[in-house]
Every structure is written in C-alpha cells, then in structure tokens.
Chains A and B, each alone.
Chain A
C-alpha cells in the first residue's frame, strides 16, 4: 500500500488527537518501520488497518465511520495536489469516472508491479453512475468517503445507495451515485 495513505492517515489523526497520541499508537503497534512512514514508500496493508483500529479504539470511533472520514479527507487532499485533474471535469460524476485511471497511475509510477484494486464505473443515466469496487480488503467505507469528498468539492449533493451484488463477497461492493437537485 502506498506510503501516502499512511502519512495522510497520520496527518488526519494528528489534527484530531494531537501528535503525542499518534506517537503513542505508533509506539505500541508492531510496525515494520516502527511507524516511520514516507509518502513515497510502500508498506503492508495490514499495518494500515492495525493503525485505524488502534485509533478507533483510543477515540471510540466506529471503524467504518473513520474510514469514510478518511476517504473524504483523501479526496480533499487530492483536490489540492492534483488541481489539473479536477480542472477539466464538469461535475462529480465525471471526476469519479476518471478517478480510477488517476489512482492506477499514482501507484504504478513508483511501483509498476503493484496490484491496485480496480474501481469500475458504469454510466446509468445523465445524473447517475454505478461504482463497483473489487478488492480483497473491505474498503467500501473509504470509497464512500471519497465519493462524498468529490461531490462536496463540486458543490453538489448526491444520494449514494448500496447495491446488492449477486453472489457478492465481502471484498466486493457496489453502489449507485445519483446527483440531486
């Protein structure tokens, strides 16, 4: 998993818990680099979940809620670091349809062999898309947060509804994003 995810998670945690609390968590967990993450590194995904769990345990937050908040945070950071990506998009749906390509490029530019879970989108109509997230990790909450962050960025509102996948597995999730108003 890209180190950027770790450094952003820790930055977000610091804004709410403070640096010391974050340091304590990192000290307590058995982490590969003793919690010294760099945004350009690549680290085991399990460590990410361990950190999130530890934060939630300490703050009393629900893990899915926390992941959703983090998804929103990441989208908001992306809107600052990838201004050109957003500049030529007319609305949130257009950005969400293109975001998979951008994520793949971000990961592969440093780690060409890394497997990145696909984020597939399908256009339903002018105001709605369906997003399917194939992953062996439960990231639908994170993704929901990203969608929310994206919709917020464009100043739009949207209704996101989960779709039951036929024979669905825990690693697969799908939902529909429908713009409102």
Chain B
C-alpha cells in the first residue's frame, strides 16, 4: 500500500501536504511566541506607564495640597491682620468718640456744635465700618457666635422701622410695614443679628430711593422668618447683580461717592443669614427698584422675653438720684479720660484705678456701689479681679457688688465666659454713654430698688 496517494477522495494526505501543513503550524507557533512576547513587553510598558502616571498624579496632588495650605494660611493671616488692625483702631477711636461726645455736652457756639456733630457722625461711621469688618473676619475665621434667645419679633421689627421713619418722611417717601399673621409674638433666635440685617436692608432701601416708597413685609412660615424689603429706588443694573454680595464691590464706584458706605453691608448680611440657616437674595422690583429678601431660621417659643427692656425707666434720672460710689479699673490713659468725661454729668464718687489688683485693694478698703472693669489689663485682668472681689465678698459676708466689664472683644462666647466669672454685664468699647448708663442704672436698681 502506498503511503502517498494522489486520490483526492482518499482520506490520506500526501507527505508533501503533511510537511507543508506542519511547517505552517510551526510557523504559526513561532509567530505566536514572537507576538506574545511583544504583547508581554507592551503590557509591561503599559504597567510602568500607569505606575509613573500614578506617581505624577500623586506628586501633583501633593503640590496642590501644599499650595492650598499656603493659600489658606495667607487668607488666615489676612483675616487675623484685618481683625487685629480693626481692633487696634477701635482703641484710639474710643478716645476720639468719647472726647467728642464729652465735648458736645459742654457750652459751645453753633459753629462748634456743628463741628463736634461732624466729628461724632464721622467717628460713628468709621466705627460702624470697623464693626462690619470685624464681623466679616469673625465669620471667615468661623468665630462668629449666634445667640438663641427669646425675643419679641414684632417689637424688634417696629423698632427698626421706626429708626428710619424720620429720614423717610424727610425725603417725602411712602413707608409701609406689613407684619404677616405668622410674625406675631415671641420667637427664639439672635435678635441682635436679625436687627443688624434688617437695619442694613432698610438703610440701603432708604439711601437709594428718591421718589416712591419703601416697604417692609415680615412673615413666619415653617420655622423661617422672611423679611422682604421693597423699594422704588434706582435698582441694580443687570450686569452688576453678581457683584452685589461680594465684599467691597458696590455696583458702581460712583455709588460710594454719592451714597457712601463700604459695600460690606450686603455681603455681611448675606453671610449672617446663611449662618442662621437662611439666605439673602435680590430680585428686581416691579418696574423699578429692588426687592431684597432675607430668610433666617427661627423657633417658636413661649418663653418670656430675654432681652431686658423697660423703656419707661429713666436711667439718667436714677443715676443722678444720689452720689453713687463707683470704682473702675482701666490701664489705658485715654480710656480713663474718656470714662471720666462720659460719667462726669452724674456726679458720681468715681475712682479710676490703673489695674485690677489696685482696684481689688481699694475695694477692700472702701467698697463701692458698682465696679467697672476693663478686661485686658496688666497685673490682674478684669475677670481675675472680678473673681477676687467675689471671694472677698463671700469671706466678709457682703452682698455682691454689680460688676460691668468693658471690652472691645465683644464676642458672644467671651461675654458668656465673663458672666460665668462673676461679671454681671458687659458693655462694648467704644463705650457709648447711653449704653453704659443704662446698664449701670439697671444693675444698681436691681440691688437698691427704686
């Protein structure tokens, strides 16, 4: 039998064909080897590239992290610089305002009166701006504390409304107040900050409206207080609206020339609203003017009013009723002078010491009806002095003397700390005579009655 067959129908394959097929198979195998090696190398290269890419991404991410930290540090430095500068300016400003205020109470001719008024209003403007700046830096540094106390909402709104009524009627504008059914009675929130936002919006509306009117609508719904201030003023041009809530960016530089202000008010108000779980937004008025809508979260409450107010009480009269003995400690000479002049009209038996330790010694020899303490003093700080006074009182079975702290560091959490350390009340610097007198009279009355 022949191995090689030429018969195509035969199942057997010719030797020639077999060898060719085998060669083809070997060739295919060699190719497979070669190609799989190429594939392996390519894969290795890819893996290396991926690792390299990962390394570069990691490196870039670290670089970005570092850059971010540097930027944040720079921003923090800016914020604390602003806070420091604002704080430092307030001390001499306290001198300027205090002296001007004292001067305004002396005999002067009409021209001098006008000059002192201008010093006072300019100083007050500067002080307001510094306060805004400090508030903003506090918010940026996340040190702004909010209160949650019970207060009379319609009363607060009416008071702010009342504040602008004179200006509004001078300008011949219509002035409407709409207290919605929900905005009645007491609520729980931060009355100081709500007042600040509302005053700001009202001040803007009145400032920028020459004809027509300003209206304020307040409503409470689902735990949110909405304050809507509508005016028929110049409005905000469409291309300037995105600048409204940015710091120091009044929509037009001519605005600050003609209307004054720093452009901090709206940005501050918006941040405050957001901190209170709401927001502040702008919509153009119907036809002309603007509508600013502020919302803040508040809680309903049955608690009595925690903002002590007795408008009928005449603080000045109470303070001049008798010769109260007042001891004060203040290390700064200017501030001592200011305090002395502020209180001059009451004919107190006033003694101002230079630090807390001197005051404590003096009090032990000759106690007073009330104590005024600066907070930051050498030798013994205000709170330390207060604590020693309380120890002395307990040891000598004396009833506690009212103590008022005077400080430029008026952050809520600090004030609460003072109150825990035996201090009864706090008056912020630069001290206004009205505020100080009101607190002094309130505390004296608490001890001595009417």
Chain A residues proximal to chain B, CB less than 8 Å: 18-20, 23, 26-27, 33-41, 110
Contacts and interface: CB of A to CB of B under 8 A. Distances in A.
Interface string B26-44: 0110011001000000000
B21 interface: yes
Contact of B31 (A18, A19, A40): A40
A20 B8 contact: yes
A68 to B, nearest CB: 26
B38 to A, nearest CB: 9
A23 B27 CA distance: 18
A41 B31 contact: yes
Interface residues on B, range: 10 to 19
Interface string B134-177: 00000000000000000000000000000000000000000000
B334 interface: no
Given A33-B23, A36-B21, A23 B28 contact: no
B17 interface: yes
B20 A26 contact: yes
A4 B35 CA distance: 16
Residues of A contacting B: mostly: loop
A40 B32 contact: yes
B20 A38 contact: no
A110 B27 contact: no
B24 A36 contact: yes
Query: Which of the listed residues B13, B17, B24 has the most CB atoms from chain A within 10 Å of its own CB?
Result: B24
B358 interface: no
Interface in B1-59: 6, 8, 13-14, 16-17, 20-21, 23-25, 27-28, 31-32, 35
29 contacts: A19-B13, A19-B14, A19-B17, A20-B6, A20-B8, A20-B14, A23-B17, A23-B20, A26-B20, A33-B23, A33-B24, A33-B27, A34-B20, A34-B23, A35-B20, A36-B20, A36-B24, A36-B27, A37-B24, A38-B25, A38-B28, A39-B28, A40-B28, A40-B31, A40-B32, A40-B35, A41-B28, A41-B31, A110-B35
A73 B35 CA distance: 28
B8 A36 contact: no
Nearest 3 interchain pairs by C-beta: A36-B23, A38-B28, A36-B24
Contacts of A20: 6, 8, 14
Contacts of A27: 16
Contacts of A26: 20
A23 B32 contact: no
Contacts of A40: 28, 31-32, 35
Given A20-B14, A36-B21, 5 more contacts: A19-B13, A19-B17, A23-B16, A33-B23, A41-B28
